Structure 1
Amino acid sequence: MGIKLSQCFIAVDDHDKAIPFYRDVLGLEVRNDVGYENMRWVTVGSPEQPDVEIVLEPPLADPNATPADRQAVAELLAKGMLRGVIFTTDDVDATFERIRAAGGDVLQEPMDQPYGVRDCAFRDPAGNMLRFNQPRKG
């Protein structure tokens, strides 16, 4: 029995800010952007991985959530403490420069990590941490 990743979720507080960042800055495809009642289902993904998507979801999509729950989740999102995604790239330094030049919010410049990768980190418009890495050479 084989198991593969199909979708992962990342919370965004404004789809209209998130979509241009993921599409135009990161170069991901918008695969779905569908409204349904008071919800919006947006998925993005790399052209190199047609079977894997990131769902850009509201911070708390649970209709039974209390106002206090919604406030708590909004505060965690603003601090960048909900989720993160790690991307692999062929050239972390070039990726870093491209995202920074597009106005990306830099968390960490490229550096070699002791666990065998060179990586950098940014925040998306909602505050989520996005890391970009490549295997370290040598």
Structure 2
Amino acid sequence: MSISIHSSFLPQTDPEASLAFYRDVLGFEVRLDVGYEGLRWITVGPVDQPDTAIVLHPAGLGDGLSAEESATLTGLVAKGGYFGVNLATDDLDATFAQLEARGADIVQEPVDQDYGVRDAAVRDPAGNLIRIQQLPTEG
């Protein structure tokens, strides 16, 4: 049996700002942009990885959530500490320089972590934490 990650979901609070971040700052391609009843779900992913995607969905939606629960969830998203994703690159310093030049909201500059990973972090417009890790070199 072989299982792979096809798509992950991150909440968005402003579809246009999220679209601009993932497309123009991270350089992802837009795969789907679906509207329904005034809401938008935007699927993005790395150009060279057609089978891996992130679905940016409206924050605060979910089956069986009350209005109060939805508001609480949206508030947690807005604080920027609830959702996130880890990405990887073969050149963290160059990637970070590009993100910084493109106006990314910098949370952490590249650093060697005590647990053995070199990474940096930015936030998307909804506050989701995007950690970018240096891929290990072969050899």
Report the TM-score when normalising by structure 1: 0.91
Q: Which amino acid aligns with 1:83?
A: F
Q: What runs of 5+ residues in structure 1 fail to find an aligned partner? A: none
Cα distance in 2 between the residues matched to 1:117 and 1:62? 34
Q: 2:86 — aligned with what?
A: 86
Deviation by residue 1:34-85 (Cα, 9 ceiling, x = unmatched): 1133432210000121101100011122264322112211210111122111
The aligned residue for residue 51 of structure 1 is 51
Structure 1 residues 49-128: aligned runs within 5 Å: 49-62=49-62, 64-128=64-128
Structure 2 runs not aligned, ≥5 long: none
Contact 2:82/2:128 (CA < 8 Å) preserved in 1?
Answer: yes
Q: How many pairs are equivalent?
A: 138
Q: When the two structures are superposed, what TM-score results if normalisation uses the length of structure 2?
A: 0.91
What is the alpha-carbon distance in structure 1 between the residues aligned to residue 2 and residue 63 of structure 2? 34
Q: Distance in 2 between matches of 1:83 and 1:19?
A: 17
Matched, 1:22 2:30: no
Instruction: Please state whether the residue corresponding to 2:27 is helix, strand or coil.
Output: coil
Contact 1:44 1:53 survives alignment (8 Å): yes
- Alpha-carbon RMSD: 1.7
Distance in 2 (CA, whole Å) between partners of 1:136 and 1:53 is 22
